[in-house]
Structure 1
């Protein structure tokens, strides 16, 4: 079914089991703002909590969630004292009773939390709103917690990394005299002074770099971009451009292909002079200083550690460090430098991120057994277990909603006009006030259920009872 395919595209993974039993993982996390609402003030006490992918659906599916994406070394908090006991983990069994629904367990003491768990992101600590956010945010690789001076794998606005205000693009368009009428549909580009997305693989924000100052020496070396300063971004290269050009001109003769082309163009005169010199003065051609010259490069230079080749004057000021794909290959791992690397596995090797198993379709799982069936199978199983009156009411309300949405979309389809976010928002606000149709549907369902009670006492009407279930 198309609806099931659409649902699987949004929720591709199985959500049968909580990851708490697997211990600390780098995994996708969610913060439940219903169970753990953000504090009203920064100083107010607050208990943060993160739940795994499966628990976000099975245990908090009707709550307000914030997707935090990947966080390392984290154990799911669902069913622990960090989450209210009114929202137990329905994927784990209570060890005392053996029934589903665990609460008030001890959380993992090594879990670390930052402002993301309160729905605040970036150095500007702005609340994230997916509908209003424009442009791209980037996640810091993270080298420490908020307590240790790092950011805790926070997400950053590009402009906030280089000292520009959040509304820099609007101001830029106003100064340029451009029409800002299409701002709502326009993506905010990367600000000037920020590296291009294809130029780096990941980055370390200025907080993480400041808390690990030994990293600053790598800025601008192989595998690392030049420092991206907190105030101003990438350094301007206009002054160094002539130097680069001069260097290129000097290096041209060292290219063997170019040298060969030049030799071929002047080949004949050079060959003639060589033959004449060889015939007239053979002794002049014997003493060659080349052997002595060739022997010098053969002497291997003394072995050096990588940190010996790093720039000695460390760049000053606060800056972020942008890393290329092979940056891990260029860290010095000598006995003096390795202690700086050892606490950070993300700098030494690429991390593995846990992903739940892909959700299989119903046929691949034997027609939808409990806990392993497709989304359609689970929906049918859940529907068969709820009260009959509620099932009929739900099916009728769904049909009513479907028809109303079709009516809403019909004018857009006929005119070819795109459906905007404000159109949908306004429509559903209006729909929420349409209580009369909902009451009518509920009353009709009650009448049908009363008829079904009479049908159950009369075997001759068994067929009518089956037809009443066609709504779902």
Structure 2
């Protein structure tokens, strides 16, 4: 009826709770909530926070780990930074005037290799606004640049955001310009770029070709590469089509994939953010010259697939599943029983799960709300059936 509050079943609540737990595990990325991460030195990736109470705007930027956000900054104004690469916990060092880390008080005055941005003061994007922004009424998503790790509004990227952006990585225009060589790769790899122009020796795109179809010179990594003879390889190089699919061991010694792409001459508009498909990092050249180029730009981490946020989130979800399995009371009980007892317990456990699911489904199908009395009655019936079974009495379901 109109005006009534929407009703959800217990099944809906449990499913939503599981989704929230999985999302939280992905965000925390297997970070330790009990021990300060300082002893791990510069952690590859971790859940990170900035304290606006201890380090307000105008002062020195600092970041604290997950455990310190709980133990040392409870009740403070915390900015959730999600994840930053190669960061060492600052909690209690010289940037904190009157705060001593409760978990690891013996720390150096500063962590010289940490990198900071306006994110540490709760500001984001090129517009340097907070998020959520109480003065901004425009619904917009925030996307993190994989190089500078700033979060930018979709409308401030200077380029349209393609669909399924959660499966891709974004590099903002500023970072693209700081790493000019990436524009060469962008003309070949980036997603949904309408301004890509073929080089003079390259065929124009077939209008009948499906949008997601990969040209033959850019085979997916999972496809087996055909054997190429030396003379055939020379012909491919002359044709400018020897980009390959990121198989590092297949590259001839001294070959530079970046130079080969530059010879192809395919270009695109060098403006706006760029969006890169999954696995794009494996297609970057790893020759010594290119590694030096990446290192000088401070972007050598782009060659590391484990640096991605996806890898970070997957690690968190995996650890959560492992912890759930280890903490399962059923599994703990099974370890203390013999084989016959284990089978009996598993049988009873499965019966209980099935009966509880059927019990809740009846409420859901009839549109009824499950009350505490209903749950209490269900378990009283289970206890009654268990006693009758123990007495050797038969009963019907």
* Residue from 165, 185, 205 that aligns with 1:218: 185
Question: TM-score normalised to the size of structure 2?
Answer: 0.53
Specify the alignment match of 1:84 in structure 2: 97
How far apart, CA to CA, are the structure 2 residues paired with 1:340 and 1:205? Answer: 19
Does residue 32 (structure 1) correspond to residue 37 (structure 2)? The answer is: no
Residues 324-335 of structure 1 mapped to structure 2, 5 A cutoff: 324-335=277-288
> What's 1:245 paired with?
207
What is residue 125 of structure 1 aligned with on the other side?
128
Select 1:134's aligned residue among 130, 139, 142: 139
Task: Note closer, same or farther for the CA distance 1:11–1:140 as it changes in structure 2 (3 Å cut).
Answer: closer
Between stretches 317-326 and 305-314, larger displacement belongs to 305-314
Aligned partner of residue 110 in structure 1, secondary structure: coil
Q: Kindly provide the CA deviation profile for residues 199-236 of structure 1, in whole angstroms up to 9, marking residues without a partner as x.
A: 95101111111011111111231x32365xxxxxx549
- Contact 2:172/2:273 (CA < 8 Å) preserved in 1? yes
> Partner residue of 1:64?
77
CA distance in 1, matches of 2:157, 2:178: 16
State whether structure 2 residue 176 is matched by structure 1 residue 209.
yes
Separation (CA, whole Å) in 1 of partners of 2:87 and 2:299: 15
| Aligned counterparts, 1:140-155, within 5 A | 140-142=145-147, 152-155=148-151
* TM-superposed deviation, 1:79: 1.2
Residue 49 of structure 1 is matched in structure 2 by: 62
Residue 22 of structure 1 aligns with which residue?
40
What count of residue pairs does the alignment treat as equivalent? 251
Tell me the TM-score normalized by structure 1.
Answer: 0.46
User: Counterparts of 1:199 and 1:219 in 2: how far apart (Å)?
Assistant: 18
Mapped pair 1:348 → 2:303: yes
Q: CA deviation at 1:136?
A: 1.9
Q: For residues 232 and 177 of structure 2, what CA distance do their matches in structure 1 show?
A: 38
Alignment of 1:299-338 (within 5 A): 300-302=232-234, 304=237, 305-306=256-257, 307-310=259-262, 311-312=264-265, 314-338=267-291
Q: CA shift at 1:299, angstroms?
A: 5.3
Gaps of at least 5 residues in structure 1 are 40-45, 96-103, 143-151, 164-192, 228-233, 249-296, 367-415, 417-472
Q: 1:113 maps to which residue?
A: 116
Aligned to 1:277: none
Out of 157, 161, 165, the residue aligned to residue 194 of structure 1 is 161
Aligned pairs (5 A) from 1:352-363: 353=312
- Check 1:106–1:21 CA distance in 2 against 1; reply closer, same or farther (3 A cut): same
Residues 301 and 355 of structure 1, relative CA distance in 2, 3 Å threshold: closer
3-state secondary structure, aligned to 1:121: coil
Does 2:129 align with 1:162? no
- 1:313 deviates by 6.0
SS of the aligned residue for 1:73 comes to strand
Q: What is the CA-CA distance between 1:6 and the residue it aligns to?
A: 7.4
Q: How far off its partner does 1:298 sit? A: 10
Corresponding residue of 1:264: none
- Partners of 2:184 and 2:261 within 8 A in 1: no
Give SS of 2:103's match.
strand
- Assess if the C-alpha contact under 8 Å between 1:55 and 1:91 holds in 2: yes
CA gap 1:51/1:331 in 2 versus in 1, 3 angstroms: same
- Identify which of structures 1 and 2 has the higher relative contact order when contacts are C-alpha pairs closer than 8 Å and 6+ apart: 2
CA shift at 1:63, angstroms? Answer: 0.7
Contact 2:185/2:261 (8 A) holds in 1: no
The match for 2:251 is none
Shift of residue 243 of structure 1?
A: 5.8
Structure whose alpha-carbon radius of gyration is higher:
1
Asked if 2 retains the 8 angstrom alpha-carbon contact of 1:200 and 1:322, the reply is: no
